[in-house]
C-alpha cells in the first residue's frame, strides 16, 4: 500500500459500536472516515514518514468520568485498544495501532474548583493553560505552563508527558504541581489519588489516601499508556502583575505589551559555555527568577524574523556574528515587592558580571515589540511558532540532568545536528538551538535539541528518521545520561535507554502488566508489555 | 485554483489547534476563548480549521470519498476566517479558508451543493438578488432620496446598496442614515437603481465561483459607466467582495472601495458628521447608551486589501502578502461610536481580527439555520456580558442574524434586553437626539417578503 492509504484498519464491529453508543450516546460516537482521519493526521513528533498515523476505529466523546469508564469497559469487552486525547497535539496523542478507539475528552472542559486561598485549581482534560492563566491572574495567581505552550492541556501534561517549561525555574515541572488525580484504569475502574479521595480537599497528591503518583508518571509520563486521567488538582503560584494584559500591535510578531511594575526581562550573554553553565548554577543556588530559558539565536530569528533569518543564514559573515550570541539565556524577574524585584535584578546582575557576561533588557527585542517577548514567555504563546520556519520540528535529546551534563548533551547534540544538516536531513538553523531550561529549583537543566524540517519533503523526512536512533544511541555510547525527549521516539526508545538507567523500563513494564493485563491502553509511546521486538523500531 | 493546489497547506498542518482559539496572547477568559464556530458547535476535530484540512487531504490521498458526509463537514462552517487568523499568528504557509472554498467548489461540481444554496444562486440568476425578490423593486427604497442615477448621470460616489439593504425594510433607517452620511461628504452620490445587482459574494462562499465572475463583470461595467471615483458600501459582505475577492479574481473596479464606517469616521474626525443629523436640540437629547461593537468578518479579517499572490513557496511568504486579518477595518467604526454623544463604549473580549462571527456567512443563514442562530446567540451572550445595552455593527447581515437570535432567546424565555443596530442608524439617533424614522415591528424583512 502507499503511504497515504496505509494504516487503515477494518471498520468497527456492530456490537462494539453499539456498546460505545450506549456508553456516551449516539451523537458522541463517530465512525465516518472523514472524522476518523481528522484524528489520524498527526505529522508532529512522529518518527514515521508522512502525515498519517493509524486511523482510529471510532472516536468517542464522553462527557464525564463515568462515561469514560463506560467506554473503557466497552473496549475491554470487545478487546479494543483505546487512547485518550485532550488538546491532542502530536502523534503521541493519536492511535498507535489498528483497532484503537480514540477517546476525545473535548467535552470535559470544566474548571471545577478554584481555591484562591490555598492556591489550587481542579480541572478536566480539555481546559488549556491559557484559559486557566486568564482566569487565575485576576486573583493574583499563575500556573506553570509546560513547554508545548498555553494551547495545551495541563492535565495531559502533568499526568502523562514530560512537563518542563519557561516557568520551571520558579514553579517546578508539571508533575510536581499535581495536587490529586482522578484516574480511569485500563480496566475501567475509577481510582482517586491524593487527599481529595478521602474528602480532605486538594491539599496533597500523596495522601492521606494512597499515592500512586510515581507509578502514574515515572519521569516522562506514559502518554496514554496506562489509562485515562479525568480530573486533576494543580498547584498555583503568586502573580504580581495585573489581572489582564493589554496586548496591541499583533498577537505574536509585532506584539506590544506594557511590562507591568515589578516585572522585567533580561538577556544574559556569555563568551563561552563554561561561564554560561556556571552562571546557571549560581542562579539556581540563588533561587531567583520567575522564568528562564535559552533563547536560541538562529531559531528565535527564524520564528520571529524569518526573512531576516534567511539573509543571515546565507551570508557567512553575518552567520558567524550571530553565532557569537550562542551562549545566552533570558531570565524574567517577577517581584512581589519593589525590594524583592530590586534584589533579584541585582543578584542576577552580580551573577552575570561574575561570569564575565553582559545583561540587557529584552524590551523591543526582534520582531516582538516592547514587552512582547515578556508576555510571550509568561503566556507561553511561543511554541506553535516553531512551525513557521519549515513547517515542522522534532525534539530529541534532552538533558534533564545536572546542568553541566545537560550542557554536555547540548554540545553533542549540536555536533550531531551539524551532520544532519550537512546531509540535508533538516534545515540549517545556525545549529545553536539547544533549548535550555532550569528546573527543580535550579538543580537540573533540561535541554532539547530542536530540529527544523519539513515533513512535506519526503526525502528529508526519510533521512531525518535516523536522527532519533542516532541520538538515542549517542546518549548510550557516549554515556551522556538522561534521555529526555528521546523517550518519545516510541516504545523502542525505552528498550534502548532503560538498561542504562537502572532498568526503569522493567519496572514500568511490571506496572503496565499489572494495571493493563490485556494491553489495551495504547502504549505506542510507552512501555510495551513484551519487549523490544514487540515495541517495533521507531 | 483547485483543491489540489492546496495540498501543501493541508499536509502542512501540525495540528497545534491555534485555529480553534483566539490568539493565545489575547485570551482573557475561558468563556470567550474560542474563535471557530464550526468546532465550537460540532465538537469533533474534523469541524475545526485543522480538521477540514485533514478531511480534504484524506480525500486527495484516496483514503476517503468526497461524498455527502464530507460535504456536510465543509458546509458546517460560516467561512468567517477566524481559524485563519489563529493559524497565521504562527504560519505563513497555510490558507485555511481558501482551502475550504475550493472544497465547496468541488462539492458543487460533484452535486453535493445544499438545496438552499442552489435556490440562492437561482434567485440571483433570475432576479439579481439573493432573495429572489423582483429586480424592478430593488430601488423602491430610494424613491424619496433624490440620489443621482449613476446609469445616466456622472457621480463622484457610486453607492452600491446591496441585496439586504435594498429589500429589507426592517433596516431602512440604517440605510437612509448611510445615505445622509454620504451626502455630507459634499460629493455627487448616486446609485445604479434597479440596474444594481448582487455582488456575488454569498454565492461564491457557497462554492459557486462563476456567479462572482458574472456579477463582478456587471459591477465593473456599472462603475465605469458611472464615472465614479469611489465605490461606497454600507454592507460588509459587499465590501469584502469588492475589496478582496474581486481583485483576487481579476475584477478591477478601478476605484477605491470605502465602507460607510470609514467615511463616517472621517466626517467625525473633522466634526462634520454632526451636520448629517443635527437638529436644534441635538446633543442634549442623546440617549445614554453603553455600546459594544461587533466586527463583521467581511469588513474585518475577510475585508483586507488584496495584496496579490506571492510568487514563490508559501513558507517564504512575507506577512504582507498573507491574509492574516490585521489589515481589516477595525478602528473606523470604533472611532465613529466613540465620537457619538451619549455613548459609553465597551469592548467584548473577541474583537478585531479575532472577533467571533455573527453566524450568517458561508451560506449558513440560508442552509444551516439552527447553527447560524446558535453562533449569533453566542455573540449576544458575549455582548451582554460586557454590560452593554446596545450592540452596534456595520453589516446588515449581522444585524439580521443577531435580531433573529434575540427573537429566539425571547421565545425561549430569555428577556434580557440589548438593542441591535447598524452604525449609521446609531449615529443618526445619537446625534439627532431622536429616532429619525420609526421602526415598526411590522417592517418586512426580505425573508418574509420572499415568502
Q: List, as one string, the DSSP characters of A202-262.
A: TT-SS-SS---HHHHHTTT--TTTT-EEEEEEEE-EE--S-SS--EES-SBTB-EE-PPTT
CA distance A337 to chain B (A): 25
Q: CB–CB of A251 and B25 under 8 A?
A: yes
Q: What is the pLDDT of residue A325?
A: 84
Among B residues 278-337, those touching chain A with beta carbons less than 8 Å apart: 315-316, 318-319, 326
Of A38, A107, A244, the CB nearest to B54: A38
Q: Tell me whether residues A41 and B13 touch, CB distance under 8 A.
A: yes
Query: Which of A8, A42, A107 shows the shortest C-beta gap to B63?
Result: A8
Q: What is the pLDDT of residue A364?
A: 59
CA-to-CA separations, A257 to A382, B254, B313, B431, in angstroms, rounded: 15, 40, 32, 36
- To which H or E segment does residue A112 belong? strand A111-115
Q: How far is residue B155's CA from residue B192's CA, in Å, rounded to a whole number?
A: 11
In CATH, what number does A111-238 get? 3.30.465.10
Does residue B428 belong to the interface with chain A, where contact is any CB pair within 8 Å? Answer: no
Mutate to test the interface with B, among A34, A94, A384, A388 (most CBs of B within 10 A): A34
- Could you tell me if B159 and B148 are in contact, meaning their C-beta atoms sit under 8 angstroms apart? no
CB pairs under 8 A between A and B: 171
The helix/strand count (H/E) of chain A reads as: 18, 21
Q: What is the pLDDT along chain A (538 residues), one digit of tens a residue?
A: 346 777 899 999 999 999 999 999 999 999 999 999 999 999 998 867 889 999 999 999 999 999 999 999 999 999 999 999 999 999 999 999 999 999 999 999 999 999 999 999 999 999 999 999 999 999 999 999 999 999 999 999 999 999 999 999 999 999 999 999 999 999 999 999 999 998 999 988 887 767 888 889 888 899 999 999 999 999 999 999 999 999 998 888 888 899 999 999 999 999 999 999 999 999 999 999 999 999 788 888 898 888 888 888 888 888 888 888 889 999 999 999 999 999 999 999 999 999 999 999 887 554 455 788 999 999 999 999 999 999 999 887 766 888 998 898 888 888 988 998 999 889 999 888 788 899 987 888 998 888 899 999 988 888 887 787 888 888 888 888 777 777 667 778 888 888 888 898 899 999 999 999 999 999 998 887 666 544 444 3
Residue ranges of B 92-151 with Cβ closer than 8 A to chain A? 92-93
CB of B13 within 8 Å of a chain A CB? The answer is: yes
Residue A208, preceding peptide bond in cis (omega within 30° of 0): yes
Closest chain B residue to A55 measured between Cα atoms? B63
The secondary structure of residue B51, as a DSSP letter, is H
Give the residue from chain A lying closest to B63, CA to CA: A5
Any idea which fold A252-389 has? Vanillyl-alcohol Oxidase; Chain A, domain 3 (3.40.462)
Helix (H, G, I), strand (E, B) or coil at A216: helix
Cα–Cα nearest to A130, from A148, A151, A111: A151
**Helix locations, A78-201, DSSP H:** 129-137, 154-160, 168-171
The set of residues, in sequence order, having a beta carbon less than 8 Å from that of A2 and lying 6+ positions away, is none
Name the minimum distance, in Å, from the CA of B74 to any CA of chain A.
11
The answer to whether the CB atoms of A38 and B46 lie below 8 A apart is yes
What grid cell was written down for A165? 517549561
Chunked into runs of 10 residues, chain B (451 residues) has average pLDDT values of: 96 97 98 98 98 98 97 98 97 97 98 98 98 98 94 97 98 97 97 98 98 97 97 98 98 98 98 87 77 98 95 89 94 98 98 98 97 98 98 98 98 97 97 61 66 68
User: Which among A387, A392, A454 is the top mutation candidate for probing chain B, defined by the most B β-carbons within 10 Å of its own β-carbon?
Assistant: A387
- Enumerate the domain spans of chain A: 14-104, 111-238, 252-389, 392-488, 497-535
Closest-CA distance, B58 to chain A, in angstroms, reads: 7
The hierarchical CATH code for the domain A14-104 is: 3.30.43.10
Contacts of A122 in chain B (CB under 8 A): none
Strand ranges (E), A335-399? 358-361, 392-396
Between the alpha carbon of residue B434 and those of residues B68, B322, B353, B388, B425, the distances in Å are 52, 44, 33, 20, 11
pLDDT of residue A531: 60
Chain B residue whose CA is closest to A302: B316
Query: How far, in Å, CA of A411 to CA of A413, rounded?
Result: 5
Interchain contact, B90 vs A59, CB within 8 Å: no
Domain regions of chain B by residue span = 4-109, 115-450
Q: A33 vs B11: CB contact, 8 Å cut-off? A: no
Whether ipTM tops 0.90, in short, is: yes
Q: What is the pLDDT of residue A537?
A: 43
What's the number of CA atoms in the CB half-sphere (13 Å) around residue B259? 34
Q: Which residue of B has its CA nearest to A27?
A: B42
Closest C-alpha among A106, A255, A258 to residue B26: A255
Q: Which residues pair with A142 in a beta bridge?
A: A237
Quick check: A61 and B43 CB within 8 A? Answer: yes
The 10 Å Cβ neighbour count of residue A6 is 14
How many CB atoms neighbour CB A77 within 10 A?
A: 12
Which of B16, B25, B315 lies at the smallest CB-CB distance from A252? B25
pLDDT of residue A301: 87
Contact B12, B91 (CB under 8 A): yes
CB contact under 8 A, B14 and A41: no
Q: Does the beta carbon of B14 lie under 8 angstroms from any beta carbon of chain A?
A: yes
Q: Give me the residues of B, 51-80, that contact A with CB < 8 A.
A: 51, 53-55, 57-59, 61-65, 69-70, 73
Contact list in A for residue B23 (CB cut-off 8 A) is 251-252, 381
Residues of chain B positioned with their CB less than 8 A from the CB of A27: none
* Contact partners, residue B208, CB within 8 Å, separation at least 6: B105, B108, B113, B117, B121
Within an 8 Å CB–CB cutoff, is residue B8 touching chain A?
Answer: yes
Residues pairing with A447 in the sheet: A436
Amino acid at each position: 500500500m502507499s503511504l497515504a492509504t496505509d494504516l487503515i484498519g477494518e471498520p468497527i464491529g456492530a456490537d462494539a459500536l453499539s456498546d460505545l453508543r450506549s456508553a456516551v450516546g449516539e451523537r458522541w460516537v463517530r465512525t465516518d472516515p472523514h472524522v476518523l482521519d481528522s484524528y489520524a493526521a498527526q505529522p508532529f513528533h512522529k518518527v514515521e514518514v508522512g502525515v498519517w498515523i493509524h486511523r482510529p476505529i471510532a472516536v468517542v466523546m464522553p462527557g464525564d468520568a463515568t462515561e469514560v469508564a463506560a467506554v473503557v469497559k466497552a473496549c475491554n469487552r470487545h478487546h479494543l485498544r483505546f487512547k485518550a486525547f485532550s488538546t491532542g497535539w502530536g502523534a503521541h496523542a493519536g492511535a498507535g495501532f489498528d483497532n484503537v478507539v480514540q477517546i476525545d475528552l473535548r467535552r470535559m472542559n470544566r474548571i471545577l474548583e478554584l481555591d484562591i486561598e490555598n492556591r489550587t485549581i481542579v480541572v478536566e482534560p480539555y481546559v488549556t493553560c491559557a484559559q486557566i492563566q486568564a482566569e487565575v491572574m485576576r486573583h493574583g495567581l499563575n500556573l506553570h505552563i509546560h513547554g508545548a505552550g498555553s494551547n495545551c492541556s495541563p492535565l495531559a501534561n502533568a499526568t502523562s508527558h514530560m512537563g518542563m517549561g519557561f516557568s520551571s525555574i520558579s514553579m517546578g515541572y508539571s508533575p510536581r504541581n499535581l495536587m490529586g488525580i482522578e484516574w480511569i484504569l485500563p480496566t475501567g475502574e475509577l481510582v482517586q489519588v491524593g487527599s481529595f479521595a478521602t474528602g480532605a480537599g486538594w491539599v496533597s497528591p500523596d495522601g492521606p489516601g494512597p499515592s500512586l503518583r510515581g507509578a502514574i508518571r515515572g519521569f516522562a509520563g506514559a502518554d496514554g499508556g496506562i489509562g485515562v486521567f479525568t480530573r486533576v488538582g494543580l498547584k498555583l503560584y503568586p502573580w504580581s502583575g495585573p489581572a489582564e494584559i493589554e496586548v496591541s500591535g499583533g498577537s505574536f510578531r509585532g506584539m506590544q505589551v506594557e511590562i507591568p511594575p515589578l516585572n522585567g526581562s533580561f538577556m544574559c550573554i556569555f563568551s563561552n559555555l563554561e561561564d554560561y553553565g556556571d552562571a546557571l548554577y549560581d542562579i539556581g543556588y540563588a533561587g531567583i527568577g520567575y522564568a528562564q530559558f535559552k533563547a536560541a539565536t538562529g531559531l528565535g530569528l527564524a520564528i520571529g524574523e524569518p526573512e531576516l533569518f534567511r539573509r543571515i543564514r546565507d551570508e557567512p559573515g553575518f552567520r558567524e556574528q550571530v553565532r557569537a550570541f550562542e551562549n545566552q539565556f533570558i531570565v524574567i524577574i517577577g517581584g512581589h515587592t519593589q525590594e524583592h524585584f530590586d534584589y533579584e535584578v541585582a543578584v542576577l546582575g552580580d551573577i552575570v558580571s561574575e561570569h564575565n557576561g553582559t545583561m540587557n533588557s529584552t524590551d523591543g527585542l526582534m520582531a516582538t515589540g516592547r514587552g512582547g517577548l515578556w508576555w510571550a514567555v509568561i503566556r507561553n504563546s511561543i511554541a506553535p511558532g516553531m512551525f513557521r520556519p519549515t513547517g515542522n520540528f522534532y525534539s530529541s535529546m534532552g538533558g534533564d540532568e545536572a546542568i553541566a551534563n545537560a550542557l554536555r548533551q547540548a554540545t553533542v547534540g549540536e555536533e550531531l545536528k551539524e551532520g544532519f544538516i550537512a546531509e540535508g536531513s533538516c534545515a540549517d538553523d545556525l545549529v545553536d538551538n539547544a533549548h535550555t531550561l532550569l528546573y527543580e529549583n535550579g538543580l537540573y537543566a533540561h535541554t532539547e535539541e530542536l530540529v527544523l524540517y519539513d515533513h512535506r519533503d519526503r526525502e528529508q523526512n526519510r533521512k531525518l528518521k535516523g536522527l532519533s536512533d542516532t541520538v538515542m544511541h549517542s546518549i548510550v555510547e557516549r554515556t551522556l545520561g538522561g534521555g529526555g525527549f528521546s523517550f518519545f521516539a516510541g516504545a523502542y526508545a525505552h528498550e534502548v535507554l532503560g538498561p542504562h538507567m537502572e532498568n526503569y523500563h522493567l519496572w514500568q513494564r511490571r506496572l503496565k502488566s499489572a494495571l493493563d493485563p490485556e494491553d489495551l491502553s495504547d502504549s505506542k509511546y510507552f512501555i510495551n508489555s513484551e519487549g523490544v521486538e514487540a515495541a517495533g523500531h521507531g | 485554483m483547485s483543491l489540489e493546489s492546496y495540498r501543501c497547506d493541508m499536509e502542512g498542518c501540525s495540528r497545534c489547534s491555534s485555529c480553534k482559539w483566539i490568539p493565545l496572547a489575547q485570551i482573557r477568559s475561558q468563556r470567550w476563548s474560542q474563535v471557530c464556530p464550526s468546532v465550537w458547535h460540532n465538537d469533533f476535530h474534523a469541524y475545526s480549521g485543522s480538521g477540514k484540512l485533514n478531511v480534504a487531504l484524506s480525500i486527495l490521498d484516496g483514503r476517503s470519498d468526497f461524498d455527502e458526509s464530507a460535504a456536510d463537514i465543509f458546509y458546517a462552517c460560516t467561512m468567517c476566517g477566524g481559524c485563519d487568523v489563529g493559524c497565521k499568528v504562527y504560519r505563513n504557509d497555510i490558507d485555511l479558508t481558501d482551502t475550504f472554498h475550493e472544497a465547496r467548489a468541488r462539492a458543487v461540481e460533484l452535486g453535493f451543493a445544499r438545496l438552499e444554496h442552489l435556490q440562492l444562486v437561482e434567485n440571483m440568476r433570475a432576479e439579481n438578488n439573493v432573495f429572489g425578490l423582483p429586480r424592478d423593486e430593488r430601488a423602491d427604497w430610494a424613491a424619496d432620496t433624490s440620489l443621482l442615477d449613476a446609469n445616466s448621470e456622472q457621480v463622484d460616489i457610486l453607492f452600491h446598496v446591496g441585496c439586504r439593504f435594498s429589500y429589507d425594510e426592517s433596516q431602512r433607517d440604517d440605510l437612509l442614515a448611510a445615505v445622509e452620511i454620504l451626502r455630507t461628504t459634499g460629493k455627487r452620490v448616486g446609485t445604479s437603481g434597479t440596474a444594481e445587482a448582487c455582488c456575488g459574494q454569498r454565492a461564491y462562499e457557497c462554492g459557486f465561483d462563476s456567479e462572482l465572475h458574472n456579477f463582478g463583470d456587471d459591477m465593473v461595467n456599472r462603475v465605469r459607466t458611472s464615472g465614479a471615483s469611489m465605490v461606497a458600501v454600507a454592507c460588509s459582505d459587499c465590501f469584502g467582495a469588492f475589496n478582496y475577492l474581486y481583485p483576487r479574481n481579476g475584477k478591477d473596479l478601478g476605484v477605491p472601495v470605502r465602507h460607510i464606517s470609514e467615511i463616517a469616521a472621517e466626517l467625525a474626525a473633522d466634526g462634520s458628521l454632526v451636520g448629517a443629523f443635527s437638529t436644534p436640540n441635538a446633543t442634549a437629547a442623546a440617549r445614554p447608551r453603553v455600546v459594544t461593537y461587533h466586527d463583521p468578518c467581511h469588513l474585518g479579517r475577510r475585508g483586507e486589501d488584496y495584496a496579490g499572490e506571492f510568487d514563490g513557496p508559501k513558507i517564504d511568504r512575507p506577512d504582507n502578502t498573507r491574509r492574516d486579518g490585521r489589515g481589516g477595518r477595525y478602528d473606523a467604526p470604533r472611532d465613529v461610536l466613540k465620537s457619538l454623544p451619549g455613548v459609553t463604549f465597551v469592548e467584548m473580549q473577541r474583537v478585531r481580527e479575532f472577533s467571533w462571527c455573527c453566524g450568517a456567512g458561508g451560506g449558513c443563514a440560508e442552509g444551516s439555520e439552527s447553527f447560524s442562530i446558535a453562533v449569533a446567540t453566542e455573540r449576544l451572550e458575549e455582548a451582554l456580558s460586557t454590560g452593554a445595552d446596545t450592540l452596534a455593527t456595520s453589516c446588515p447581515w449581522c444585524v439580521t442574524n443577531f435580531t433573529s437570535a434575540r427573537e429566539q432567546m425571547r421565545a425561549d424565555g430569555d428577556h434580557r434586553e440589548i438593542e441591535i443596530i447598524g452604525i449609521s442608524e446609531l449615529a443618526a439617533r445619537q446625534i439627532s437626539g431622536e429616532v429619525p424614522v420609526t421602526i415598526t415591528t411590522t417592517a418586512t424583512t426580505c425573508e418574509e417578503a420572499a415568502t
